[in-house]
Amino acid sequence: MLDAVRQKQLIVQPQALELLSTLDNFEKIIEKLVEKNEFIVTREKIDEVISDISLKEKSAQVIVRHETGYRPLAKEFDSSVVEDATSDVTDKSTCKGKVGDFIEYFKDRLARGANIYKRRQSAHPMIPLSKLDSYGGKMVRVVGMVYEKKQSKNGHVIVELEDGESLVTCIAMKDSKAWEAASDLVYDEVIAFDGLKSRDLFVIKEVVVADVAFRQKKRSEEDVSVAFVSDLHIGSKFFLKDHFTKFLEFLNGKGSEKQREQASKIKYLLVAGDVVDGIGIYPSQEKELLTKDIFTQYEMFEEFMKSIPEYIDVIVCPGNHDAVRLAEPRPKLLPVFTKELGKFKNFHFVGSPALVKIHGFSTLMYHGDSIYSTVGAMSKLNGAISQPDRAAVEWLKKRHLSPIYGDNPIVPENKDYLLIDEAPDIFHFGHVHHNAQRDYRGTMIVNAGCWQDTTDYQLKQGYVPTQAILPIYDLHLGTLSLIDFKQDNSVVQAVGGEKSGVGKNE
């Protein structure tokens, strides 16, 4: 034992040394102390490590195994997971915090946003703002970024539009068909206007929203499904361990014949962040934690996830409670946290946002941090925190996951990773702890709710989470169903068309 202490260069107080000498697992405790950078060792620190190890071993008791005779259909099919490296900031961050970084970031946002409009047919020529005077009173299309938006005393919407070279004042008259769409604009979004120059103003006749095109919903020839979870918050005293264990048992074939049939088809599991509760995320959080050791929280997560059948591919992106940078875009979790899971062939860790093709379906994964700034900026989204699919539709319309710069922290990389270049087949996010789903123009939008009971902090904020409800999307039929693990694993058919909420039309 003394050799192990000397090798790790630990300074151990006499009482701590005496305690270590009585423990059979002293090597494990020493390794844990080193991981936590505790090189001056007291008895109290050893007691804390012993408590964390005990907690992890207790969580390991939830591991479940396949029921005898269970033959999952999904196991018969090969997995297909293709990560789009260009959509993920992991290992590609270039920001140094200099003015040039901001310039390059906004140049990229503007250029790629404008390119979406250039691919669209238009009855009017698309011209730079600097050429407006040359076209007199003729109808044209202009593209730029919203620099400022305000309402005049007469109720008209005034928009300052810039394109990197020029800044032009645009107006949507109160009685025009462009007024309502102009009122929904937010700062920093890239937008196109059809209209004409009149004296010193560009009169907006139509606001041309980028949006995603109508597409026929994609279907898989093979009868497989994808399940969605988010916001587990493992490490919190409010983590719904028993319900999550039921979910793991469900994946392993435990349940009614109907449930076993449904679980049998699950080939992919998407996890949209906040897999652990983290530390210091909100005021007085430490009172609500099972452990204040972030490594132990991830070890607990690992023990739960190890029980997922190996034929199910699991894709995990980080959230604001995870051990990555707070600002977006976020890189994937580091190997020091993913440990053994990162070595499993069926586990894939990606950044947020990230684009992953699963079974041929283009899938956009994003934790969802910007929902508060988006909802706060658009009056039409009043109440959308409990109907997050409505906010997701606006992101798809604006072709950007966080259009307002500054309200939600964004790192100015030389590429805008939050811009949506192409419409995804599946869009999965979380963050607001509220289930919602909608089929929008061929994109299946899914918010997977949470697996955490209502915390004191959430109660003070007025949040009403939906918990332990599992969305499952049938890639063959194009339908989405929900399993409520708080209500005896009841199954609800939720979405087959333009629907929203938890199993109801909007």
Q: Is the pLDDT of residue 227 over 80?
A: yes
**pLDDT over 70 at 276, yes or no:** yes
Domains of the chain by residue range: 2-62, 77-90+219-495, 99-208
Segment 375-399 mean pLDDT: 94
Residue 309: the pLDDT is 96
Residue-wise pLDDT for 100-114, tens only, equals 999 999 999 999 999
pLDDT at residue 503 tops 80: no
Name residue 269's beta-bridge partners.
Answer: 227, 314
Contacts of 135 (CB under 8 A, 6+ apart): 125, 127, 196, 197
CB 369 within 8 A of CB 431: yes
Task: Look at residue 51 and tell me whether its pLDDT is greater than 70.
Answer: no
The DSSP secondary-structure symbol of 74 reads G
Q: Read off the pLDDT band of 215 (50, 70, 90).
A: very high
What's the average model confidence in pLDDT over 227-245?
A: 96
Mean pLDDT value across residues 208-219? 94
What CATH number labels 99-208? Answer: 2.40.50.140
Q: Quick check: 254 pLDDT over 80?
A: yes
Task: Report pLDDT for 282.
Answer: 84
pTM of the model: 0.86
**Paired sense of beta strands 140-151 and 190-198, if any:** antiparallel
Chain mean pLDDT for the chain: 89
pLDDT of residue 496: 64
Q: Of 188, 205, 19, 199, nearest to 113 (Cα)?
A: 188
The yes-or-no verdict on residue 458 having pLDDT over 90 is no
Residue 71 has pLDDT above 70, yes or no: yes
Average pLDDT score over residue span 438-447: 97
CATH code of the region 77-90+219-495: 3.60.21.50
Look-up: residue for tokens 């938890």? Answer: 502
